[in-house]
Copies of this chain bind each other. A is one copy, B any other.
């Protein structure tokens, strides 16, 4: 440490002792002031407010013990080292009781002991100061943190409410089709998002998206996604381009990819989006980095549909591919899931989890409520991730 920053005050009526103390401490780098008696010492103390005082206990004008108390009346935290003759240990004990930081016995044979006592006393002061500072800092940060957490709870409540108020009607039935869905959010705000619409009495458009991250940002992204897709569908009749179903889907994905990158946040999303043309009985769909893959259930048998593609919001200029599928003419169920469902299936390997998911779908006969019952989502207190399920059933 830089000793010169410390102001020490030496008070002793014996000139020789005072001078040798002062000289040694100055040689050690401290800034030293000295006084020949208690009253001069106290005046100097009041003027300088030194970091440490070294005082003789027996002086002609005022007792050193009285001086110690007077100093502590002004600034209780100032360390005072007392010096006493060997024969008067009672005074030392009294001084220590009154809060003296340390003591030295005359004659001071080795001045290094004095310097060590000074260091120790200054260190104790510093420790107390640091302690108080850290304690206050920690307290302040914790209060701030609590405020943040309380605000987050408000955000969460408002965010959940908005997300739910924007959710599509479930079940929604039209033209032999039943759409139903469920999103069970984890402790955090949900980044899962489902929407579907029956457009121009012919097309079932639907998607299930999963935005990465936790908190308000992904929730805002789900709202934005819902809004931008709905606007495009409503205003521009996108997705229901009679001429070219495929290019409509691809333009939509490219547009939300550009916008999500433009948003400049660290959240991306995976998505499965599709359109069923009820007239031609064809399904057009895109899988954008999303797992698990869509599941098709026909005649009691479930299988994954093929598909792969990049997530959205990560790669500029990314392209996707539309898969076309002729749907069965009889009853079928098409099921989409967020990957939260896989964490609830008690298998270790992904491939085994996926196999089991197919069995769950078969057992559920494509009903969302049954799926949720079978994987026991509702018995889990703290879901590791949101669980979203979308089912589109055709009942002829």
**Alpha-carbon distance A92/B109, docked complex (angstroms):** 11
A170 at the interface (CB under 8 A from B): no
Q: Which residues of B contact A130 (CB under 8 A)?
A: 131, 135
**Alpha-carbon distance A92/B157, docked complex (angstroms):** 66
Q: Which residues of B contact A93 (CB under 8 A)?
A: 110, 112-113, 116
- Interface segment among A43-51, A240-248, A264-272, A345-353: the answer is A264-272
A166 to nearest B CB, angstroms?
6
A258 to nearest B CB, angstroms?
13
A263 at the interface (CB under 8 A from B): yes
Please provide the chain A residues from 250 to 279 with a CB less than 8 Å away from any CB of chain B in the complex. Answer: 259, 262-267
Contact (Cβ within 8 A) A267 B216: no
Q: Which residues of B contact A155 (CB under 8 A)?
A: 155, 215-217, 220
Nearest residue, chain B, Cβ from A108: B89
Partner of A131, one of B112, B127, B157, B223: B127
Q: Which residues of B contact A105 (CB under 8 A)?
A: 105
Nearest residue, chain B, Cβ from A228: B165
Please provide the chain A residues from 111 to 160 with a CB less than 8 Å away from any CB of chain B in the complex. Answer: 112-113, 116, 120, 123-124, 127-128, 130-131, 134-135, 137-138, 141-142, 144-145, 148-149, 151-152, 154-155, 157-159
A96 at the interface (CB under 8 A from B): yes
Partner of A158, one of B89, B116, B137, B267: B267
A232 to nearest B CB, angstroms?
12
A224 at the interface (CB under 8 A from B): yes
A213 at the interface (CB under 8 A from B): yes
A221 at the interface (CB under 8 A from B): yes
Partner of A145, one of B113, B144, B216, B259: B144
**Alpha-carbon distance A266/B153, docked complex (angstroms):** 11
When A145-B148, A151-B217, A227-B162 are in contact, do A157 and B89 touch as well, CB less than 8 Å?
no
Q: Which of A149, A155, A219 has the most CB of B within 10 A?
A: A155
A161 at the interface (CB under 8 A from B): yes
A330 at the interface (CB under 8 A from B): no
When A113-B93, A148-B148, A157-B264 are in contact, do A162 and B127 touch as well, CB less than 8 Å?
no
State the 6 A-B residue pairs at the shortest beta-carbon distance, nearest first: A134-B134, A141-B141, A138-B138, A216-B216, A158-B220, A155-B216
